[in-house]
Amino acid sequence: MSSPVTAFLDALRADGPDPEHAETLALYGQFVGSWRVENTDHRPDGSTHVAIGEWHFGWVLQGRVIQDVWITPARGTDPATLPPGYRHRYGTTLRMYLPEQRCWRILWTDPVTGSSVSQIGRGENGGIVQLGTTADGVPMRWSFRDITRDSFRWVGEISDDGGKSWRLQLVMRATRIA
C-alpha cells in the first residue's frame, strides 16, 4: 500500500499532455523539465541583485495542466551570500489551457511572500505573453522570450501608467538541466 504522499503525487502527475490538445499544450509543455535560473531583480532605485534559482515544470491533472515550482535562491544557497532583506521566493504556477477562449489561465502563488497572481497567457511573436494585475490593481506583464530547446529568458514588468509603458522588475535567464 502506498503512503498518502505517494498516492497524492501519483494522482497529481501525468506522463504527458492530454492527447486531445497536445499540439496547443506544447506552448508551455516545451518547458517540462528542470532549469537553472539566473534571477536578476531590478529594484525601483535602479539597483540590481543576482541570485541563482531553480525552476521545475511538469505535466499534472491528466495532462491538461502544466505546473511549475520556482525557487530562488536555489536550495542549498548559503544565506550569507544574500543581501540584507533579500526575499526568498518558493512558489508554484498552474497553467491551464481554455480551448473555448483560446488562451491560458495562469495562477501563481508564493506562500513565502504571501503573493498570488492571476493572468491570461497567449503565444505571441515566437514567445509567450501573460497579462494580469498585481493585488493593488497595477498592470503586470510576464513574458517568455528567446525560447530555444535548452534556454529561455523570462521578463517580469509592471506598469505605473495603465499599460502605456513598462518598468522592469525581474529577468530570469534559464538553462535546461540535462
Number of domains in the chain: 1
pLDDT one-digit tens code per residue, 7-36: 999 999 999 999 999 999 999 999 999 999
The stretch 119-145 carries a mean pLDDT of: 94
pLDDT one-digit tens code per residue, 63-83: 999 999 999 988 988 878 877
As a whole number of angstroms, the distance between CA 128 and CA 145 comes to: 7
Q: Band of the pLDDT at 113, cuts 50, 70, 90?
A: confident
- Does residue 122 have a pLDDT over 90? yes
* CATH number of the CATH domain containing 151: 2.40.128.20
Q: Identify the domain containing residue 10 by its residue range.
A: 4-176
- Does residue 2 have a pLDDT over 80? no
Query: If residue 144 lies in a helix (H) or strand (E), which one and from where to where?
Result: strand 139-145
For residue 38, the one-letter residue type is E
Give this prediction's pTM: 0.91
Contacts of 101 (CB under 8 A, 6+ apart): none
The stretch 144-152 carries a mean pLDDT of: 97
Q: What angle do CA 145, 97, 120 make, to 5 degrees?
A: 55
| pLDDT at site 7 | 92
- Does residue 1 have a pLDDT over 70? no
Contacts of 75 (CB under 8 A, 6+ apart): 54
- Does residue 86 have a pLDDT over 80? no
